[in-house]
Structure 1
């Protein structure tokens, strides 16, 4: 037998059980890994985890907080049945909303005997509203002007280089047949606004008013005032036809009277009849943008001339084109 050699380890180093001298010794107090015996539970399939929402970057959260601060929280109206005082005054026909706000600020409106001066005040519908005579006196001084608008003028604000029709309201353009008792002043142009549009390519009666009650009566959401038009048309299928009424089927006329849709909504019933071989008479109770022209296109007709001759009980009459007159005290729409 060969003799065994005695190996002396350096002091302070524990003996290693691994034959590989490169293996690092265990750290003091380090946990020792032990082989675990597998059980039946380990072999069972693990339940699927619910998908976690995608996480954004820290910048996303910051932007979300900034957006939340930027969007104001809408002020909730009380659910007890109260309404804005100005809205109630408009619904009762006492004034327009703009007039109501002006009168409230002036201290001319009382509710159940108490003066209200704060805009946005809400009241009960059954409460008694009283208007100071000063407000009625101011309202009576407001004028309404009837203008025979020519082609080439827009009804409202100037646009695309075209002038508004109100520029025609000048002393030299006042109709000599006007019997209204008022003398024209520059104050009559203050806040004078059109009550209803008339296309740039259309002529006829245009109402300009300072009175919010008249504007609401003519063009409000619940307005039922009739507007009458004379419309010269041409058949798209037979543009050379002189007797247009002879080539338009009765079905098309029925559609014009009722059954057409514009802007995704059905139109209200209209009165449509032939005035002569080339001219239709329309009576409407609504006024969508370019409504008559669009209605005619839907049934194969092209409008070549359009003139408004009546609004309610007020007619254009003999008023010359480009001239104007005052609405008389005895006239009502």
Structure 2
């Protein structure tokens, strides 16, 4: 009678040599393991720490430890259990209305995530994902919208998506429609607003003592500007407008990267579809 076969070891995934050969901080300087994994797009740093804690990450065949540093020569592998966990993570696109905060509840205002219910899912969402309360765990905004702003808010469980949208090295475009007044003038602002001030909105302003990156700023109609930014400082558009004498009376985000708000109704949400990306 043949002896039973020993159990197979857990499957692992190796970071490609080409990606591992040049860490962001230099070819010879060791970096924290979670940073290297995030830099290679495997996960976020927080996710990497979770995988390390669960024993899903190995360095040169040995279980990784929290805070461990690695060099370009070290071989990092990740078990398939981590990939399975990532595959279950969701990203949700919400049309945030006025009166909701992006993150934690504050000053009596509810967080936008409270709108993510089965009843509020857009009827035209054809994504083949069934909503479950488990999808709310760890669901966090990737980029904020002020309480008095509306439009596209991305909520995600996936650290890779969050890093892509709001990571320190992100250059993701965010597009907004901004209704403005100039002094007491609320109609045909475009005709009266100086071209030189519009040029300053595009490039030349500073916030918090630092110059802003160039932006696309154009008139959408007589009372509304279109902004395209690649950074996201707190209340940036409102503060930019204040510096040139404009008052923002309405702000709506309509795009993040390649993902559009489209016809998604206020207060409703849909999943980021398979094959759809920022």
TM-score (norm 2): 0.88
**1:182 aligned partner:** 129
What CA distance in whole angstroms lies between the structure 2 residues aligned with 1:101 and 1:115? Answer: 16
For the pair 1:107 / 2:55, whether they are aligned, the reply is: yes
Question: For residues 47-98 of structure 1, what are the alpha-carbon distances to aligned partners after superposition, in whole Å with 9 as ceiling and x for unaligned?
Answer: xxxxxxxxxxxxxxxxxxxxxxxxxxxxxxxxx7211111111111111011
CA RMSD of aligned residues (A): 1.0
What CA distance in whole angstroms lies between the structure 2 residues aligned with 1:83 and 1:241? Answer: 54
Q: Is the 1:106–1:117 contact (alpha carbons within 8 Å) kept by the matching residues of 2? A: no
Note the C-alpha offset of 1:118.
1.4
Q: Is the 1:143–1:326 contact (alpha carbons within 8 Å) kept by the matching residues of 2? A: yes
Bigger relative contact order (CA 8 A; separation at least 6): 2
Q: Is the 1:175–1:324 contact (alpha carbons within 8 Å) kept by the matching residues of 2? A: yes
For the pair 1:86 / 2:34, whether they are aligned, the reply is: yes
Structure with higher Rg: it is: 1
Structure 1 residues 150, 241: CA separation in 2 closer, same or farther (over 3 Å shift)? Answer: closer
Q: Is the 1:230–1:279 contact (alpha carbons within 8 Å) kept by the matching residues of 2? A: yes
Given the alignment, which residue of 240, 245, 248 partners 1:295? 240
Q: Is the 1:256–1:296 contact (alpha carbons within 8 Å) kept by the matching residues of 2? A: yes
What CA distance in whole angstroms lies between the structure 2 residues aligned with 1:136 and 1:96? Answer: 13
Q: Is the 2:105–2:111 contact (alpha carbons within 8 Å) kept by the matching residues of 1? A: yes
Q: Is the 2:186–2:223 contact (alpha carbons within 8 Å) kept by the matching residues of 1? A: no
**1:278 aligned partner:** 223
What CA distance in whole angstroms lies between the structure 2 residues aligned with 1:253 and 1:129? Answer: 50
Question: For residues 240-281 of structure 1, what are the alpha-carbon distances to aligned partners after superposition, in whole Å with 9 as ceiling and x for unaligned?
Answer: 351100111110111000000000000000000000000000
What CA distance in whole angstroms lies between the structure 2 residues aligned with 1:295 and 1:242? Answer: 20
**1:20 aligned partner:** none
**2:66 aligned partner:** 119
Note the C-alpha offset of 1:133.
1.4
Task: Count residues with an aligned counterpart.
Answer: 251
Note the C-alpha offset of 1:180.
0.7
Given the alignment, which residue of 198, 203, 206 partners 1:261? 206
For the pair 1:330 / 2:275, whether they are aligned, the reply is: yes
Q: Is the 1:155–1:200 contact (alpha carbons within 8 Å) kept by the matching residues of 2? A: yes
Task: Considering fraction of residues, name the structure with more strand.
Answer: 2
**1:23 aligned partner:** none
Query: Gaps (5+ residues) in structure 1?
Result: 1-79
For the pair 1:223 / 2:170, whether they are aligned, the reply is: yes
Question: For residues 87-137 of structure 1, what are the alpha-carbon distances to aligned partners after superposition, in whole Å with 9 as ceiling and x for unaligned?
Answer: 11111111101110111122221223x132310111103423222111111
Aligned residue for 2:114, secondary structure, equals helix
Q: Is the 1:88–1:125 contact (alpha carbons within 8 Å) kept by the matching residues of 2? A: no
What CA distance in whole angstroms lies between the structure 2 residues aligned with 1:292 and 1:126? Answer: 45
